[in-house]
Amino acid sequence: MLTMASEKPILYSYFRSSCSWRVRLLKDGGQQFSAEFKAVNPMQQVPALKIDGITLSQSLAIIHYLEDTCPNPRLLPQDLKKRAQVRMIADHIVSGIQPLQNLSVLKQMGEKKMEWAQNCIASGFQALEQTLEHTAGRYCVGDEVSMADLCLVPQVFNAERFKVDMGPYPTITRINKALLELEAFKVSHPSLQPDTPAELRA
């Protein structure tokens, strides 16, 4: 768990959390279940961000606040149609794929957790691939990095962790590769976080 000076923002995170990666600016997996953290976020989920005298949870709420207060670089296009597409893709990942393969769900699946995660991700990626065929340029929507891209890269990381065959998703794969070449995505990678176990470090 990363703690900074009291006058600066505090981000509560976990190295392998795709939700945390979306907002990464982290220690001991499971700290989110402590009584101390429950006071920060009653849902006991990461990420949570203490900033400007408030505490925010849920990655998209955090991203929207940062977009509203520090819109440089901008993560939502000015064009309203592109802005709607960015939000659609982000919601597709954040609401339609990631929760189904989240740790709390996988714990309920027992021995079938790998198969369950693979099926959930593959089903979501089939739809996402079709959407991106119409919206993508270099990135998810056109040629500017957006909120949708912040959601895509962590979800592809999850897919690879669960050994999902990425062959059927060339557009997703191409965009992910382009994004991982950018410095912001490199330094926020789970393998480079303070709480990453030594054996998983890059």
Nearest to 130 by CA among 89, 84, 97: 89
Higher pLDDT, 115 or 51: 115
User: Across residues 71-80, what is the average pLDDT?
Assistant: 91
What does the pLDDT read at residue 202?
Answer: 60
Instruction: Determine if the pTM surpasses 0.85.
Output: no
Cβ(77)–Cβ(83) under 8 Å? yes
The domain limits of the chain are 80-186
Return the CATH fold of 80-186. Answer: Glutathione S-transferase Yfyf (Class Pi); Chain A, domain 2 (1.20.1050)
SS3 string, 100-134, reads HHCHHHHHHHHHHHHHHHHHHHHHHHHHHHHHHHH
Q: Say how far apart CA 116 and CA 48 lie, in whole Å.
A: 27
pLDDT digits (tens, 9 = 90+) for 108-140: 898 999 999 999 999 999 999 999 999 999 999
